[in-house]
Amino acid sequence: MVSPLVYGAVKSVFDGLLVGSLYGLMALGLTLIFRVTRIANFAYAEYLTYAGYAAAFVSAMLSGVTAFVAALLTAAFVGAIISLLSDELAFKPLWLRGADSLTLLVASMGVGFVLRYSLMGMAVFENWPLEIQPHVPKSILFTLGGIAYFSTAHAAAIIAAVATSVFMHWLFTRTRTGKAMRATASNPVLARISGINIYYVRRITWLLAGAVGGVAGFLYSYRNPMNPESGWLMLLWIFSAAIMGGFTFFGSLISGIILGLAENLVAFFLYQFFGISTAYSPVIALAALVVVLLFKPEGVIRLETHMLRKRV
């Protein structure tokens, strides 16, 4: 007979992978923006929230697989648009006037406030439900011992996170557009002299990062009900995963999963054996961040390692 404890641990692993995949996915978008524009974008979380809401509203009018696909596409679209608008209206004008990274960081907090409280205002004014979830089918794919279950939400999150990080890595290292993004980040004036339209590159960056955030927002609300503050509450995790990942794409994915597993699995064991409430799981996850950075300050995958490995 297998102890329920084992099933409990397995459930924690499943949930940790789900949550961790979402953190990783979110961190991917944040990393993309940071790598290309050097902006630590605190408004990023709001793209998730807007997309989650849009997906919920669109899927409410549909059902079945159609609802799922429509919700996913809507989320990606809304995330992309809100992201691009935030750059066109706030970040780009500031950057063109010579704003440095710190100024843009602070500005991003402001943009975040505007987005978050606009949404909140709309929710209150229009009498939307307190929390929303998309109207899409969810099913349990398999269970273990009646305790651990792996649902479509789990599968979707993991698949999306892995696929997106592979795509981002491929884009950045193998495609002309991705290399143009790296070139623009590396030396914008030389990029223009090489014939690259750096404004086009910038727009693509924001659209892509926003779309990724949008999908993450939808997948989050697929699992948990969402409110206007949901994105904001996850901002810490998103940044932690990105920083821990050394602002690389695979690093974001790995770090997100480490954080998710730390939050769920470690919290489970601490509760089972030491009676520590699972409300402390954020502390555990952040302790994981501190531990990793103590041993590897540059992040789990070091951006510079790519450079040193190729040094002649």
Partner 1 sequence: MTGNRVLETRKLRGGYGKMIIVDDVDIYVEKGEIVALVGPNGSGKSTLLKTIYGVAKVFGGRISFEGRDVTYLAPEEKTRIGMGFVPQTENVFPDLTVEENLEMGGYLIKNERKLREAIEMVYSIFPQLRDLRHVLAGALSGGQRKMVAVGRALMTMPRLLLMDEPTAGLAPKTALELLDKLVDIKRETNASILIVEQHARRALEISDRGYVLVSGRIAAEGTGKEILSRPDLQALFLGKHG
List residues binding partner 1 (CB under 8 A): 176, 179-180, 182-183, 185-187, 189-198, 306-307, 310-312
3-state DSSP assignment of residue 136: coil
Sign of CA dihedral 156, 160, 163, 165: negative
Nearest to partner 1 of 123, 179 (CB atom): 179
Residue with Cβ nearer partner 1 (1 or 174):
174
Which is nearer to partner 1, 138 or 306 (by Cβ)?
306
Residue 171 and residue 119: Cα distance in Å, rounded? 33
E runs forming strands in the chain: 140-144, 148-151
Smallest separation, CB 167 to partner 1 (Å): 19
CA separation for the pair 238, 23 (Å, rounded): 6
**Choice between 102 and 312, CB closer to partner 1:** 312
Distance of closest approach, residue 306 Cβ to partner 1, in angstroms: 8
Pairwise CA distance, residues 67 & 180, whole Å: 36
Question: To the nearest whole angstrom, how small is the minimum distance from the Cβ of residue 188 to partner 1?
Answer: 10
Residues 6+ apart with CB under 8 A from 30: 41, 44, 209, 213, 238, 239, 242, 252
Q: Pairing relation of β-strands 148-151 and 140-144?
A: antiparallel
CB of 179 to partner 1, least distance (A): 6
User: For partner 1, which is the closer residue by CB, 101 or 272?
Assistant: 101
**Shortest Å, Cβ 187 to partner 1:** 5
